[in-house]
Structure 1
Amino acid sequence: MNIVFDFGGVVFRWHPASFLARVWPHRVADLEQGATVAEQFFENYGGDWGAFDQGLIDADTVIQRIAARTGWPEAEVAQVLAAVPDELQLQSDTAALITELKQAGHRLFYLSNMPEPYADHLEQAHPLREWFEAGVFSGRVKHSKPRTEIFKIASERFGLAPEACAFLDDHPANIEAAHALGWQALLFTTAAQARQDLSALMR
């Protein structure tokens, strides 16, 4: 089987509400408030952050835009961006699943919405080339999920027809977009659930 992993929230930790509670304790008192602030900051990965995800603007520009839009000081916005690499911790249960799937002979790939500075960090911090045959980062191809273009780019880069790919992602909109293009897409909640869902596909 050809299995394509999303990164944030699947392979690497990404939980904006708790992340912002740690980085901005003076602004975020609890997870509920963290979720509200995350909506303002990341705009559901559209707007300013979406442009950063797609590599259309750099880190300095997204800091300026978020500060101008929200009124938060640029230094505080920059603090959040600087803290993202530490947030992207490898999730041990998913790492175990990756090892298990590779040992079973499955082909593994990745398709991630990831600004280029964080893509660089992940490549330097983890043996991505050992885990995956190939991958696509949004910041490098100037397109992001759930848009059609990035799925087409991934399919071409992997040399696979969409229906030959099992895609794991934690965002329903990305799953819906992948399904519409013929991918076998599975909503990721936990590595244990993903293992069960993939086993069902293999039957």
Structure 2
Amino acid sequence: MMGSNRKTLLLDFGGVLSLDFDSESKSTLCAMLNIENGALVESLFANDHSRLALVGAISDSELWDRLCGHFGVDRSTMDFVWDMFWRSQIINDELLVLLDECRKRGVNVSVLSNMWCCGGTRMRSLTRLTRLIDQIIISGEEYCRKPGREIFDIAISRLGCFPEDILFVDDDARNVSVALSLSMSGLVFNDTRQGNAFIEQWIRR
């Protein structure tokens, strides 16, 4: 497909658009799952069941059954944990202000996230975020994940632009490295102020 020359921001969700969880909710969720305080994201996503769901290899229903067994909780508890997980997200409001300005300048803003299919559904329900987002590309829906090249190729095709016109922003240097190898610009996101300054500079080029 022929690409356009429209500048495009392609952003990760966790660690970029979402910075953390509120501390009280995080402690509550860790206690409910009987895991060490502060290990919420790692415990949810760095297990074999989650890894399969991140590439769509098991259904959401099978994932919940497996996670209930993994954490030793019932389905109602797991449903509550998942709901609170999303309600307690600390969204990067400072970055959202910049994204609003980017859209007014004609910049495409999209998301590329390693996430279960049911996470993609919840992500799309965050209206503060989705009003600024053109497309949300989820690993579980595409059957492949970062840092593999395939999901980046899918993103380039879906966005309809040239790789050279994309700035990929992620908090994982491995993912940014792949983007750079495909002729995108890349930013390892560690700090909102520095990240926003880099994005603004890139837009002005």
Q: TM-score range by the shorter chain?
A: 0.7 to 0.9
* 193-202 vs 127-136, which moves further: 127-136
Q: Is the 8 A contact 2:21 2:90 kept in 1?
A: no
State the match for 1:161 in structure 2: 162
Q: TM-score, normalised by structure 1?
A: 0.78
Q: Is the 8 A contact 2:56 2:143 kept in 1?
A: yes
Residue 10 (structure 2) pairs with residue 4 (structure 1): yes
Which structure carries more helix by proportion? 1
1:60-113 Cα shifts (integer Å, max 9, x gaps)? 322333455x56334555543343221334321121121122223322222122
Provide the rounded CA distance (Å) in 1 between the counterparts of 2:154 and 2:129: 19
Q: Secondary structure at the match of 2:125?
A: helix
Q: Is the 8 A contact 2:110 2:133 kept in 1?
A: yes
State the match for 1:73 in structure 2: 73
> With CA pairs under 8 Å and 6+ residues apart, which has the higher RCO, 1 or 2?
2
State the match for 2:4 in structure 1: none
Alignment of 1:97-176 (within 5 A): 97-126=98-127, 130-176=131-177
Provide the rounded CA distance (Å) in 1 between the counterparts of 2:44 and 2:102: 36
1:64 maps to a residue whose letter is D
Alignment of 1:15-34 (within 5 A): 20-25=26-31, 27=34, 33-34=36-37
Q: Note the residue ranges of structure 2 that are not aligned, 5 or more in a row.
A: 1-6
Aligned length: 196
Identity of aligned residues (%): 21
Q: Secondary structure at the match of 2:98?
A: helix
State the match for 1:199 in structure 2: 200
1:107 maps to a residue whose letter is N
Provide the rounded CA distance (Å) in 2 between the counterparts of 1:36 and 1:179: 30
Q: What's the CA shift for 1:35?
A: 4.4
1:100-135 Cα shifts (integer Å, max 9, x gaps)? 222233222221222222222232331656412333
Q: TM-score, normalised by structure 2?
A: 0.78
